[in-house]
Amino acid sequence: MSRVYDMELLHVKSNKILRAKKQLSPEFKDASVRFTLEEYQGDESWFIIQPSYKHKQIGDPVVIGDKVTLFACRAGCALNIKQLHSNTKQHKLISDTNHHEINNNNNNNNNNNTSWQINLYLSYQDNLEHILKGGDIIRLFHSEAEKFLTCDAYENELHVFLRTTFRAATTTARSSKALWEVEVIHSDCRRTGAGHWNSLFRLKHLITGLYLCPKVIKINNKSGEQGAFCKQDQDDGCIESFLTLSKEPTYETVFEMDSTSHYKESDGFIPNNAFVRICHTASRMWIKASEIPIDTDADKPIMYKVTTTLRQLNLSVFDA
């Protein structure tokens, strides 16, 4: 005899449970169901996996690649995606204030909106606590400058910088503006894995959802003095390169991590809290600290630009 289990859907990034609540909606003539992400569990968060196609039956094993329907037990309807307003992005279920309401109609023949495909995100073999892996949320602490890699607004513009900290230990940091999500690039764009020394990475700022990338600009240098982080001279100016953010995960947002020692683990994994140098894959430039302040109007600046260099230096070492 096959068994059917109720399950709950945990949103990993927000650490909240998906719940389905019946309510009246002005968008529909009859009752609708509101799907929200909440911290609390209950029978409104119970779902059953049902097959989407007739050649599968309830109770059959569910494997990677299967298309299924997620049926809310209490609400009595399937989880689907339907955009209510074309001028709003309600498909982004981010918090309690962003939600979906669907028509409670089980006779809907449109299987495209209620069918979900199960894809592997991270293999259990790579889900090891002591190594860096895709989906990890980290802080990057510059070991020599003793500053955190941070993103914040200054004069109505987002900046990536190294922020001076006055804390006694890095583990006491509390600011979410210094949190970065690790993306280990996989051949399948829907997957991630464990971080190896030869892996390709992206670093996504947790709050803004933007990707770390370098920006190259040309500045005038008619005085003859070289800029503090010139990559190469061109006529009367030079090329500067510093870190900024990108909306799209392009090739310019790809980085590599290199060990600071010649000894590396035999399995090639990057351990947690390892000292690393970060190299921009496209330009082969290394991220490094600088003494160039951003908040120049402050008595004691705490925001310093993050630049790039062609050489591996001690100013390029971060604690990941």
Q: 262 falls in which pLDDT band (50, 70, 90)?
A: low
Considering the domain architecture, whether residues 148 and 241 belong to the same structural domain is answered as: yes
pLDDT above 90 covers a percentage of the chain that reads 31
As a whole number of angstroms, the distance between CA 193 and CA 229 comes to: 35
- Are residue 53 and residue 194 in the same domain, yes or no? no
Cα 271 to its chain centre, rounded Å, is: 19
Is residue 170 in a domain? Answer: yes
Does some domain include residue 3?
no
What is the phi-psi region of residue 97: left when phi exceeds 0, alpha when psi lies from -120 to 50, beta otherwise? Answer: alpha
Number of domains making up the chain: 2
162 and 26 co-located in one domain? no
pTM of this structure: 0.73
**Which CA distances in Å does 282 have to 15, 45, 251, 312?**
34, 45, 7, 16
Does residue 2 carry a pLDDT above 60?
no
Around Cβ 190, how many Cβ atoms within 10 Å?
9
Decide: residue 45, CB within 10 A, 0-12 exposed, 13-18 middle, 19+ buried.
Answer: buried
CA distance 273 to 276: 9
In a shared domain, residues 251 and 295: yes
**pLDDT per residue as tens digits for the range 23-47:** 765 555 456 788 888 888 888 899 9
Q: What is the mean pLDDT of residues 129-143?
A: 91
Q: Report the pLDDT averaged over residues 213-217.
A: 85
Note the pLDDT tens digit of each residue in 231-261: 444 444 456 789 999 999 999 999 999 988 7
218 lies in a domain? yes
Q: Are residues 51 and 83 in the same domain?
A: yes
Is the domain of 312 the same as that of 172?
yes
Q: Which residue has the higher pLDDT, 114 or 72?
A: 72
Its sign, for the CA torsion 167, 169, 171, 172, is negative
CB 303 within 8 A of CB 163: yes
In our burial notation (b when 16+ CB lie closer than 10 A, e otherwise), range 275-303 reads ebbbbbeeeebbbbbbebebeeeeeeebb
Residue 226 lies in a domain: yes
- Is residue 98 classed exposed, middle or buried when 0-12, 13-18 and 19+ CB atoms within 10 A define those classes? middle
Same domain flag for 202 and 61? no
Contact 42, 8 (CB under 8 A): no
- List the structure tokens of 10: 């945990």
What are the DSSP calls for 66-120, one per residue?
-EEEEEETTTTEE-----S-TTS-TT---STTS-EEEE--TT----TTT-EE---
Identify the pLDDT of residue 219.
54
* Residue 5, in any domain of the structure: no
Residue-range definition of the domain harbouring residue 311: 137-319
Instruction: Tell me, yes or no, whether 150 and 249 share the same domain.
Output: yes
